[in-house]
C-alpha cells in the first residue's frame, strides 16, 4: 500500500500582472510517496519554482487541492500554512540564506527558536543535526569562515533540525563547483536512503536530476513527463572518481585560512576612498556640531573613521568581488594610519608646538626616544580603531 506524503489534484496557479493573466501552473495532478527522491526540472518560466512555493506552503493554488501528510493546506490561511511549514518542511536554498554574523550552531538553532524550544534542547538538537552533515567540528564558525560546500551543509542541517518528513531543495548546487555539488548531492542521497527523508529537488541541470530516483519535467506550466529511474547516479561514487583536490586550493572568502591565500595588492583607490570618506565624516560632524550649537567632543574623529571604513569597504567589495580578508583589513588600517601620521603629523606638530610653552618643546626635543614611542603608540591605536571599524563595515556590506 502506498504511503503518500504529497498529493496535488487539479492544481493551477494564475497571476494577474495588470496586463493580463499569467498561468504559471495548469491542472497539475501529482503524488509523491514518503521516502522518494524526486527531481523537478524545467527551463525558466516552466512553472517549477511556482510548484516549489506551493509545495513549501509559501503560496496557495488558485484552483485545485494540495494535501501534505494528510493535511489539506492549499486553502488554509497564511498563519495556518506557516505552522504546517514549520512542522513538516525543511528548506534548502541556492543562496544558503545563513545569518552572516551568527555561528553555524546558532543558524541551525533558529527554526527551533520559532517553536519555543528551550536553549539546552535547541543546542543538543542543533549539534546532532550538524554532526549528521559532518560539521561537528565547525559549531562556532560563522559563514565567512566556511567554504561554499560547508555553508550549504549548515543550511541542510538547519533544514533537518526540526525532523521534517520533507526536504525541499531549490537549486542547492547552483553556486557550487563540481566537487562540492557532488558532496551535497551525496549527502542528500544518504539522508534519503538512510533516514527515509523525502527529498524534492528543483533544478534545471539534467546531470543533477540524474541523482534522483524520479524525474518530473515541467514546460509552460504543464507537467509533461514523469520518469522513474531504476538506477540513479550515485553521487558518492562519482565523487570518489574525481581527482584529489589541490592542496593549495582554498575556499573563497574563507578567513580562517587566510594565511594560505596569495597576498592581494590593495588598490590605491581604496585609500582614496578612505580619504574621501574621512572628509565627508568630518563634514557630517561639523553639521552635527552646528545643530547642537556647541562642539561635541570626539564626534569629528568618530565620524571621520566611520566614513573611511564605509567608503573603503564599499570600494574594496566591488574591486575584489568579495569581502576583505583579515590580512587585507589589517594592511589597509596600518598603511593608511602610517600615511596619515607621516603627512599630517608635521602640520599638526607645527601648529601645536607653536602654542605650547618652550619648556615642553625643549623636553620633547631632549627625549627623542619618548617622542618616537609616542608616535608608535599613536600608530598602533589608530590602526586598531580603523581595523575595528573596517571589520564592522566589512560584515555589513559583504552581501
Could you read off the pLDDT of 41-76 as tens digits, one per residue?
998 889 999 999 999 999 999 999 999 999 999 888
Q: What is the C-alpha to C-alpha distance for residues 201 and 40, in angstroms, rounded to an integer?
A: 6
Q: What is the pLDDT of residues 86-130, one digit of tens each?
A: 889 999 988 888 988 889 999 999 989 888 889 899 999 999 999
- Strands 63-68 vs 71-72: parallel, antiparallel or unpaired: antiparallel
For the domain covering 4-251, report its CATH number: 3.40.50.300
Does residue 199 contact residue 31 with C-beta atoms inside 8 Å?
no
Record the pTM. 0.60
Helix axes 299-320, 326-353, angle to 10 degrees: 140
| pLDDT value at residue 255 | 44
Residue 192 has pLDDT above 70, yes or no: yes
Are 129 and 108 in contact by the 8 Å Cβ rule? The answer is: yes
C-alpha cell at 390: 573596517
Domain borders along the chain are: 4-251, 263-397
Residue pair 228/196 in contact (Cβ under 8 Å)? The answer is no
Amino acid at each position: 500500500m502506498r504511503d503518500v506524503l504529497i498529493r496535488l489534484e487539479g492544481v493551477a496557479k494564475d497571476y494577474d500582472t495588470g496586463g493580463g493573466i499569467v498561468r504559471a501552473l495548469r491542472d497539475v495532478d501529482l503524488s509523491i510517496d514518503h521516502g522518494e527522491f524526486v527531481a523537478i526540472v524545467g527551463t525558466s518560466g516552466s512553472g517549477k519554482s511556482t510548484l516549489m512555493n506551493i509545495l513549501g506552503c509559501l503560496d496557495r493554488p488558485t484552483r485545485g487541492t494540495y494535501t501534505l501528510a494528510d493535511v489539506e493546506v492549499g486553502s488554509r490561511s497564511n498563519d495556518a500554512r506557516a505552522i504546517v511549514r514549520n512542522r513538516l518542511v525543511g528548506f534548502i536554498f541556492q543562496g544558503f540564506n545563513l545569518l552572516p554574523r551568527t555561528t553555524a550552531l546558532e543558524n541551525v538553532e533558529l527554526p527551533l527558536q520559532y517553536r519555543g524550544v528551550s536553549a539546552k534542547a535547541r543546542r543538543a538538537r542543533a549539534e546532532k543535526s550538524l554532526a549528521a552533515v559532518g560539521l561537528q567540528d565547525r559549531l562556532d564558525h560563522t559563514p565567512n569562515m566556511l567554504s561554499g560546500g560547508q555553508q550549504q551543509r549548515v543550511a541542510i542541517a538547519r533544514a533537518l533540525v526540526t525532523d521534517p518528513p520533507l526536504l525541499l531543495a531549490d537549486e542547492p548546487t547552483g553556486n557550487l563547483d563540481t566537487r562540492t555539488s557532488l558532496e551535497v548531492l551525496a549527502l542528500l542521497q544518504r539522508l534519503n536512503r538512510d533516514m527515509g527523508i523525502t527529498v524534492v529537488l528543483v533544478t534545471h541541470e539534467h546531470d543533477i536530476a540524474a541523482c534522483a530516483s524520479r524525474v518530473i519535467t515541467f514546460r509552460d506550466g504543464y507537467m509533461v513527463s514523469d520518469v522513474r529511474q531504476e538506477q540513479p547516479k550515485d553521487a558518492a561514487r562519482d565523487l570518489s572518481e574525481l581527482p584529489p583536490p589541490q592542496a593549495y586550493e582554498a575556499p573563497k572568502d574563507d578567513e580562517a585560512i587566510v594565511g594560505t591565500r596569495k597576498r592581494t595588492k590593495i588598490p590605491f583607490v581604496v585609500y582614496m576612498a578612505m580619504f574621501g570618506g574621512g572628509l565627508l565624516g568630518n563634514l557630517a560632524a561639523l553639521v552635527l556640531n552646528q545643530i547642537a550649537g556647541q562642539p561635541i567632543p570626539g564626534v569629528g574623529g568618530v565620524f571621520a573613521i566611520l566614513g573611511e571604513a564605509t567608503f573603503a569597504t564599499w570600494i574594496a567589495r566591488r574591486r575584489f568581488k568579495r569581502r576583505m580578508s583579515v590580512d587585507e583589513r589589517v594592511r589597509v588600517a596600518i598603511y593608511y594610519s602610517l600615511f596619515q601620521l607621516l603627512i599630517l603629523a608635521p602640520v599638526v606638530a607645527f601648529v601645536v608646538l607653536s602654542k605650547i610653552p618652550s619648556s615642553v618643546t625643549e623636553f620633547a626635543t631632549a627625549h627623542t626616544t619618548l617622542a618616537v614611542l609616542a608616535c608608535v603608540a599613536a600608530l598602533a591605536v589608530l590602526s586598531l580603531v580603523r581595523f575595528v571599524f573596517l571589520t564592522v563595515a566589512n560584515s555589513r556590506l559583504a552581501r
